Amino acid sequence: MSLIRLHPKQDDKTGLFYLEIYHPAEAEQPLVTTAARYKTPAAAENDIIAIIASRANSAS
């Protein structure tokens, strides 16, 4: 069971990628949309995962 869903999309104007983050995963509208600043969908996803992991590790 997924708690969030990450959906990379490409910005038509810049060609860069951004993420739509859905919570709960089944939501029809994104909870958060990032800025279009990533060169690949994988880079966008990896950055968000790193941010979440960093915040989780510093929460103690």
| pLDDT-derived band at 55, boundaries 50, 70, 90 | confident
**Residue 59: how many other CB atoms lie within 10 Å:** 6
DSSP letters along 8-57, please? EEE-TTT--EEEEEESSTT-SS-SEE--S-BSSHHHHHHHHHHHHHHHHH
Cis peptide before 8 (omega within 30 of 0): no
Q: What is the pLDDT of residues 22-44, one digit of tens each?
A: 999 999 999 999 999 999 999 99
Beta-carbon count within 10 A of 17 CB: 20
Residue pair 21/1 in contact (Cβ under 8 Å)? The answer is: no
The pLDDT of residue 2 is: 72
**pLDDT > 90: what percent of the chain?**
80
